[in-house]
Structure 1
Amino acid sequence: MGLLTEILLLPAAPVRGTAWVLRQVVDVAEREYYDPAVVQRELAGLVAALEAGEIDEAEFDRREDALLARLDARRTP
């Protein structure tokens, strides 16, 4: 039965392969996006930008909230 199913689904193999690759890319991107080390580096850069006068306090608060939300999203299932 398995061989027959594989033969019948053979024309769909490129689509299944593409879907698998896309899932892998999304998984890696999400791991990197929510990685605490990456978020901490971005927070440090944000603090440096604030201290250098490149951004104002309101922009800092908005971006900091977004980064902290990423950290919280990673911790909660």
Structure 2
Amino acid sequence: MGLISEVLLLPFAPVRGSAWAIRQVLNEAERIYYDPATVRAELSRLEERLEAGEITEEEFDRLEDELLDRLEIASRGSAGTGNGTAR
């Protein structure tokens, strides 16, 4: 960018910086959400909750399906990005 456009856009610098920070936080949250290790750990905790009687079989099935969907999305994303994240 030229000097004039930098000067004209200077009042918007905090907004651009905030938008960048928000994108970084969202990217990291998405990386953690779709991380296969995280999903497998949640599946394990879900099974423990079922065995302890904290949830019903129907709840288990529903939550397990959601976690397996996340795992599938993560595996599809890792094939495209090569780093194990879905973006």
The alignment covers a number of residue pairs equal to 77
TM-score relative to the length of structure 2: 0.83
Where do 1:1-77 residues align within 5 Å? Answer: 2-77=2-77
In angstroms, what is the RMSD of aligned CA positions? 1.1
**Distance in 2, Cα, partners of 1:66 & 1:54:** 18
Tell me, which stretches of 5 or more residues in structure 2 are unaligned?
78-87
Give the share of equivalent positions with the same residue, in percent. Answer: 61
Cα deviation, residue 30, structure 1: 0.2
Give, in whole Å, the separation in 2 of the partners of 1:48 and 1:75: 24
CA-to-partner distance for each residue in 1:2-45, whole Å, 9 max, x for gaps? 22221111011011011000000000000010011111110000
